[in-house]
A and B are shown apart, each in its own frame.
Chain A
Amino acid sequence: MYWSELAWIVPILPLIAFVLIGFLGNKLFKKIENGGYLAIGMAAISCFLSLMIAYEILTGSYPGGVYKTSFEWLVVDGFTFNMGIYIDTLTAVMLIVVSFVATLVVIYSIGYMHEEGERKRRYYAVISLFIGVMLGLVLASNYLQMFIFWELVGLCSYLLIGFWNTKPSAASAAKKAFLVTRIGDIMFMLGLFILFVGFGGNLDFDYIFNNVDAFVGGNELLTLGTFFIFGGAIGKSAQFPLHDWLPDAMEGPTTVSALIHAATMVKAGVYLVARSYPIMVETPETMLIVAIIGGFTALFAASMALNNPNIKRVLAYSTISQLGYMFLALGAGGYLYAHTAEFNVGFTAGMFHLMNHAFFKALLFLSAGAVIHAVHTEDMRLMGGLSNKLKITSFVMLIGCISIAGIPPFSGFWSKDLVLEAAFEAGEANGIFYLLYAMGLITAFMTAFYMFRLWFMTFKGEPRDHHAYEHAHEAPKVMWVPLAILAALAFGSGFALFMGFETTVLPPLPHFEPHGAEGVIGILEAFFTNWMTYASIIAAVLGIFLAYVMYYKKTVSADIILNTSAGKKMYDLLLARYGFTAGYDIIGLKVVYGFSRLVDWFDRKVIDGIVNLFATIAVKGSNVMRRGQTGLVQTYAAMIVLGVSLIVILLFYFGGLI
């Protein structure tokens, strides 16, 4: 009996919670937070099972190392579609991240959502649904099944962004998220069609990964297929140019931002690319695109976080930027592997950063939630000095900030360093990776700067809004305990590297033998004899120092930049998100609406015109014809005589009767 054989229960439990809370929440659970405790219970059991399964797979105690099972779901036209479960080390990491963060976030929600009344039923129901389908996505054994859950997490995201659906901004943000990610989903679907055709109708991971060479249609078609699959990841993981929905998604409750838009759902895109690694590495062009998009997005999104006054938006841009890091690592690793088929750190770096980021970003979001809970505003210009009031929150958030900034030995340092190393390493194969490395390094500097700007503006200095400051209070225990657990992980999850993360979480690729440094001393030595490590530490420290002098000491003011016209323009450009929002509006209003009006005109004037023309002809013509019906019997008789005479004459002339 292995724990992995119970994997099917993992996504089922939260789904049961969804059904119970969704339909009976306000009746059965009115006294107990409208089902909140049920959601916690189910999530916790799932989490326990997930941890046991992950432990079993990661330690290799399951024979063969990969648990797979499936049953026939549909047979259409000779094609068989399966449903099943596929657990390898990658799945195991995702299981830990998703179930653990989800459980903590639901616990935290008890405090954060306490004042929402009857709407809590909807909240807990949907969040249970989300946990269930997200675990289903992670456990899926084929692309079709994954796609189904992929769409379902998108639905949950939509429902939760629009949780306060009476607020127009939340409603429109939900619609935007749904529509923008849909573009990615369509590309994902196209990619699936290509794979479906190429692999003879079999979309099982197990089959595809072991028979990559069986692809029919040549490498060009496969490149197109992997590119479209990455297109799905762009949409879900909010990469350039489909990134713009994520900052708007902050209209939802902060817990939702933490769980869905930072720790789990947006990672689905990274997971998809990592999952498809065996076919992705066959197409180095796609891997190059993945890396370029990732590296560019990292810098691009980080720059927008530099001056944003909204605490959650800064974190949202930071999430996009960090997701870009993960894609950069995956792309660089895959590209290098395609050229020299041996171990490189790219894949591991991406997944390692995914795990660490899930913990420290969930921590940062939940801490921001505690701040918002205390002062009832998201505008950092109205905060300040809160560390006197929110001692625990400010402390755990500081841990999160240090971690994401990349100061050793916090977790963010290890994974960010590996990401940059992977990017630099791939420079051997293609010079563009040196540029991407430089962008990554600048991003590291920016990350440190904007995170500490956030922290100093929120917690240090003089309170800028005294009313809010007076009423601020520390979060209740149910909120700060999850924060403390996450803080411990944000500090310590990087040590997984010393427990053999690098040699355990490997893509299912041939000749991919880990030869990374062994043992704690070996890894430490590899890290601290590398100049890149010092480069990224210096970048981080510089960023923190700049934030310190600008927002704590205030010896250097941002006005220096603002007073120059170019600086002011840049500032406005960043706040306007490089015009992307306006661009969407232009596309939506001018292009699409204009085109729609043209089509409307064509429909009204030409199509309807033709139809109306026939109708008019019929009406006018009938009006003339009906006058033939006089009601006089002799007219009719005359017609009959005329007709019969005509027939007779015709018969005589043409019928040959003469």
Chain B
Amino acid sequence: MIALEYFLGLSAILFIIGAIGVLTKKNAIVVLMCVELMLNAANINFVAFSAFSTPVNMNGEVFALISIAIAAAEVAVGLAIIMNMYKTRDTISLDDINLLRW
């Protein structure tokens, strides 16, 4: 059986990749994808901890499923916003979208 640390290491690497993507990428769709990476890193943690817990229960797996459903909804909303942005401003570059400021 693979040790817990490997799961946690994978999840940490995924999370960091996602976070760097969110902070650096200009394309809004790529940023959205990076957010998905971070969410999935969290899901791996849920499942891993659940599998290693004693006594064995399914709480982590169930929570991961809920999390995936929420992520799907979030992507739907995010994509809708990006679509509308593209329609009105002809761009999805985050550097050009800075209306809410001083």
Contact = CB atoms under 8 A, between A and B. Distances in A.
A444 B94 CA distance: 106
A641 B19 contact: yes
Interface stretch (A260-268, A433-441, A608-616, A632-640): A632-640
Place the interface of chain B in its size category: 10 to 19
A630 B95 CA distance: 10
B2 interface: no
B100 A631 contact: yes
B69 interface: no
Interface string A616-630: 000000000011011
Nearest to B100: A631
A631 B19 CA distance: 19
Nearest to A622: B102
A629 B101 contact: yes
Interface string B40-73: 0000000000000000000000000000000000
A634 B98 contact: no
Given A626-B102, A627-B102, A633 B94 contact: yes
Nearest to B96: A632
Interface residues of A, number: 11
Nearest to B95: A632
Contacts, number: 29
B22 A632 contact: no
A637 B32 CA distance: 13
A648 to B, nearest CB: 12
Contacts of A632: 94-95, 97-98, 101
A538 B99 CA distance: 106
B22 A634 contact: yes
Contacts of A633: 94, 97
B94 A631 contact: no
A219 to B, nearest CB: 76
Nearest to A641: B19
A627 to B, nearest CB: 7
B23 interface: yes
Contact of A638 (B23, B31, B94, B95): B23
Interface string A554-595: 000000000000000000000000000000000000000000
Contact of B98 (A627, A631, A637, A638): A631
Contacts of A638: 23
Contacts of A629: 101-102
Interface in B10-56: 19, 22-24, 31
Contacts of B95: 632
A630 B23 contact: no
Contacts of A634: 22-24, 31, 94
A634 B93 CA distance: 11
B41 to A, nearest CB: 14
A623 to B, nearest CB: 9
Contacts of A641: 19, 23
Given A637-B22, A641-B19, A630 B101 contact: yes
A643 to B, nearest CB: 13
Contacts of B97: 631-633
The 6 closest A-B pairs by CB, nearest first: A631-B101, A631-B98, A626-B102, A631-B100, A632-B98, A629-B102
Given A630-B101, A632-B98, A633-B94, 19 more contacts: A629-B101, A629-B102, A630-B98, A631-B97, A631-B98, A631-B99, A631-B100, A631-B102, A632-B94, A632-B95, A632-B97, A634-B22, A634-B23, A634-B24, A634-B31, A634-B94, A637-B22, A641-B19, A641-B23
Interface of A: 626-627, 629-634, 637-638, 641
8 contacts: A626-B102, A631-B98, A631-B102, A632-B101, A634-B94, A637-B22, A637-B23, A638-B23
